[in-house]
Chain A
Amino acid sequence: MKEYQTISEISGPLVFVEIDEPVGYDEIVEIETPEGDQLRGQVLESSEDFCAIQVFEGTGGIDRNASVRFLGETLKMPVTEDLLGRVLDGSGNPIDGGPEIVPDERQDIVGAAINPYSREYPEEFIQTGVSAIDGMNTLVRGQKLPIFSGSGLPHNDLALQIARQATVPEEASEEGENGEDDEGSEFAVIFAAMGITAEESNEFLEDFERTGALERSVVFANLADDPAVERQITPRLALTTAEYLAFEKNYHVLVILTDMTNYCEALRQIGAAREEVPGRRGYPGYMYTDLAQLYERAGRIEGVEGSVTQIPILTMPGDDDTHPIPDLTGYITEGQIYIDRDLNSQGVQPPINVLPSLSRLMDDGIGEGLTREDHGDLSDQIYAAYAEGEDLRDLVNIVGREALDERDNTYLDFADRFESEFVDQGFETNREITETLDLGWELISMLDTAYLNRIDEELIEKYYRQDVSADDAEDEASEDSETAEAAD
């Protein structure tokens, strides 16, 4: 292990060192300041006689006399099942006062790409108990489904609700009842906080403790006042742990990454310090690749029981989903859940706007044998009806409700009830999927069957609620049958 005292330049989070023996790209470095502080960093660029090092904890306290040691290996995460129940800092050191972690293995945090041929396509339904997700944007095991939110919106409450309630319903679960509780399979939550406030972090930890979720969780906390550069490794440590638990210990792991916006800011900060050519809005040109290397570490592998499911959370600057962070994220992840400011101010909990939300893996995770035969058609129809109701609201603002015909008014009522009954369930309510679907039928039955063009006729016969439609659409329906008779 070679030690140098040849720092030539310190700039932002970067340290440039003159060296006489080559070091590997990405290699880990230890820096000792004259005060005796130990800092860690990583080689960003390596040439024959000098290298650039990015210091995770920030360069504060480093001067040109600090000593630099190259460890000859890339950054590794010590992994073991004992990590469950522990709280670690953003660099992976325990901060909960618990015993030292004795690792089973030390794994490279960069993580190799999964061969697409070895992947198993995710199609196991995860019940989150949230109707707007289960019914309309179903999450499946091995999916990466981000929450697109804005500052001041309750995305954390939603994430917590999902972490608390997520289960795989019995009939869909492959392994049956070998788990410790009635959930059927061993479930673990990995929570990686990047640059969130101490208050937010406490909110998470308290909730984890309150519900007993902590014992099946690993928490990585890089808080707002921790070094920004550290944010680069926090999610990688978390995902390495997740992969270990999933693919070697057969856990079903749910990874919550919050807040990806802070992660990207850190990426930009380092890019700027390195004087790289910036891409859109100053973010580095390789941000897509970098984000993909995180998000793509979700999935299932053929022949392995476990799975990694990701819920990254990001706050869109200015609620703008064309901003590079949500934009690039949306291109990599398999859908997105939008938290909506208007719904939030109306008091809808969780304020999920289902129209722009999407789960790309939904179609294969639902239906007969997985959720219920009517799920796909029903959600399509609700989407269409809600979209139409939304459109009509604009019109109502101009011409008023009286100017609309009965059909349009029904759609408006539908949209209102959809928000107040289907979406607004509260952060504490856990709904079974059948409950969600039945509620969907109750609402869609406000519409006359003639308008249900996306639902198979047999399903309409089986599930359509005559009792509901009778009140609202009676007149219309009788009118229809009269004219039809007249035509015959």
Chain B
Amino acid sequence: MSQAVDSETESEAVIRSVSGPVATATGLDAKMNDVVYVGDEGLMGEVIEIEGDVTTVQVYEETSNVSPGEPVRNTGSPLSVDLGPGMLYSIYDGVQRPLTVLEEQMGAFLDRGVDAPGIDMEDTWDFSPTVEEGETVESGDIIGTVPETESIEHRVMVPPDAEDGEVTSIAEGEYTVEETVCELDSGVEISMHQEWPVREARPTVDKNTPTTPLVTGQRIQDGLFPIAKGGTAAIPGPFGSGKTVTQQQLAKWADADIVVYIGCGERGNEMTEVIEDFPELDDPQTGKPLMARTCLIANTSNMPVAARESCVYTGITIAEFYRDMGYDVALMADSTSRWAEAMREISSRLEEMPGEEGYPAYLAARLSQFYERAGNFENINGTDGSISVVGAVLPPGGDFSEPVTQNTLRIVKTFWALDADLAERRHFPAINWDESYSLYRDQLDPWFQENVAEDWPEVRQWAIDTLDEESELQEIVQLVGKDALPDDQQLTLEVARYLREAFLQQNALHDVDTYCEPEKTYRIMQAIQTFNDEAFEALEAGVPVEEIQSIDAAPRLNRIATTEEYEEFTEDVETDIEEQLRAKY
């Protein structure tokens, strides 16, 4: 945030009252959503209500010892982010202040009243033009590139609100983000730096149906419940069900060009883990550092509540900027419930009439506005880009009927239901296969058929059917015991057990198992299917089920996932299974 630095000071505006993160001011000439600076220390806030001469401000910082009578200064512009090269590798708080800069200025504890721009205004970047003098450019067009990180080429664009014109001067060279790199005959001067109000979506031409999956490297997600590039997904989970690990796995391994990870109202240590871990990891697709494509936003639960409310907007605006360049962006919001609670908290301070469970009546509208900013877009400069949004939801007490979960489910098309029961058994990822769904399956199948295997949909359906059957059989087993079941059903249980243990479970902490490419996902499913087919053939030939279960090749199915050179290993396992079973009849 830097837009306030040079704005003029409004005179006579003073604080009228303070209560927690909400302050009112009189004599302030402000528009809705303007950013204001409150009190002697200049705490950043945003106008959220205007009534007569009284303006209500939500303050993004702690308000202890701020008293009525202190001045309020208006910047005249809404809450915006600084966009330009330098956002990748960065770690921001909820209003895009880099945490590294904050540490330099105030030490380990977050003090108040410090302002810092979101991107470094002094750094220089190597600009190479992609248009020539005399060419006509329109708003949104790409005029040049900057190597932002080792994996991402930053594309410098004409701001969306700029007038069209003919390029009168453009030159290669080293520039700071604020220096003009290109001039148009219409008088527009273009620099690498853009500002954009966070609550407003950046313009696009059209939204298309997504047909490419966001490959996550997680078997249950890619294999059974895929999400599309440009799709939306929700991960609801009671505490302790591994929601954050699931989110982090996606952020680490998803095959997006850019990842924006928002830690909204989460634990400090957890964010520290992300901040310490990510820089050490390499992107499995490019082998380059993971941070080279990542922007982190960390607003922990004890940081000011108003900044928690704004951090998802900050994140998605940054995501839109990269989408405009034609990139596939994946945005993880962990979690949207904390965001909704921040809304509730501020709403109750404003004494608004509450809706369901104390949440403001506009909860559903805000959620859908946010998720609608995801999608597979045709940009105004003709490129295609996408934003996939994965939002974590924390249903209090694991009750999915609460308003945030319900309103989210009405919007998202993929649902990965985390289950505390599975987590208790250390079945990770604890995604419940009965309750989860993906509405993208059909539109993504052609991609999987073309890129992985022709019979992908059939094998997947077989796995789902087997797991379904197991759920039904388990109910009976609970009553009468496993041995009371007929042989074929016992065998189904055995096969389903391998599906659960060898396929669905995936160890995020294991070097090899943490990422599983779609080919391997398919191969494991197929190997279990081989066991299934062979086992049922043996059963038909009269081999008792106990003997089928006792072959020592089958348990090796569990080790495919952790084997790096899995192709040969899997073939061996399949051959052994076949041989051992056929030897019995």
Seen from chain A, the residues whose Cβ lies within 8 Å of a Cβ on chain B are 22-27, 44-48, 73-74, 108, 110-122, 142-143, 247, 276-280, 284-286, 288-289, 292-293, 295-297, 299, 301-302, 304, 321-324, 327-328, 330-336, 355-356, 358, 360-361, 363-364, 376, 380, 383-384, 387-388, 394-395, 398-399, 403-405, 450, 453-454, 479-480, 483-484, 486-488
Contact = CB atoms under 8 A, between A and B. Distances in A.
| Central interface residue in B18, B263, B351, B358, by most chain A CB within 10 Å | B18
Contact of B301 (A288, A355, A384): A288
A48 B16 contact: yes
Contact of B351 (A277, A279, A295): A277
A54 to B, nearest CB: 12
B580 interface: yes
A121 B269 CA distance: 6
B52 to A, nearest CB: 15
A330 B273 contact: no
B62 interface: yes
B286 interface: no
B17 A278 contact: no
A261 B537 CA distance: 60
A26 B67 CA distance: 9
A364 to B, nearest CB: 8
Interface residues of B, number: 82
8 interchain residue pairs of minimum CB distance: A322-B397, A292-B301, A47-B17, A22-B68, A296-B302, A117-B99, A118-B108, A112-B109
20 contacts: A24-B67, A25-B63, A25-B66, A44-B19, A45-B17, A47-B68, A108-B64, A116-B91, A117-B99, A121-B269, A285-B344, A286-B20, A297-B302, A323-B397, A330-B239, A356-B424, A358-B240, A361-B269, A384-B426, A487-B551
Given A285-B348, A334-B267, A116 B298 contact: yes
Interface stretch (B169-177, B382-390, B477-485): B477-485
A301 B584 CA distance: 63
Given A113-B109, A356-B424, A487-B584, A363 B509 contact: yes
B348 A453 contact: no
Contacts of A450: 552, 555
Contact of B425 (A289, A364, A387): A387
B228 interface: no
B103 interface: yes
B200 interface: no
B414 interface: no
A321 B240 CA distance: 12
B561 to A, nearest CB: 11
Contacts of A380: 426
A384 B107 contact: no
A277 B272 contact: no
Contact of A289 (B69, B301, B358): B301
Contacts of B301: 288-289, 292, 296, 332
Contacts of B478: 394-395
Given A330-B240, A387-B425, 5 more contacts: A26-B63, A277-B358, A327-B239, A334-B269, A450-B552
B298 A279 contact: no
B345 A119 contact: no
A381 to B, nearest CB: 9
A112 B423 CA distance: 34
Contact of A115 (B99, B424, B426, B501): B99
| Central interface residue in A292, A302, A333, by most chain B CB within 10 Å | A292
A296 B268 CA distance: 7
B398 interface: yes
A114 B547 contact: no
B358 A384 contact: no
A142 B269 contact: yes
B187 interface: no
Given A112-B111, A332-B301, A285 B345 contact: yes
Given A285-B341, A289-B301, A383-B425, A278 B550 contact: no
A117 B67 contact: no
B358 A74 contact: no
B471 to A, nearest CB: 15
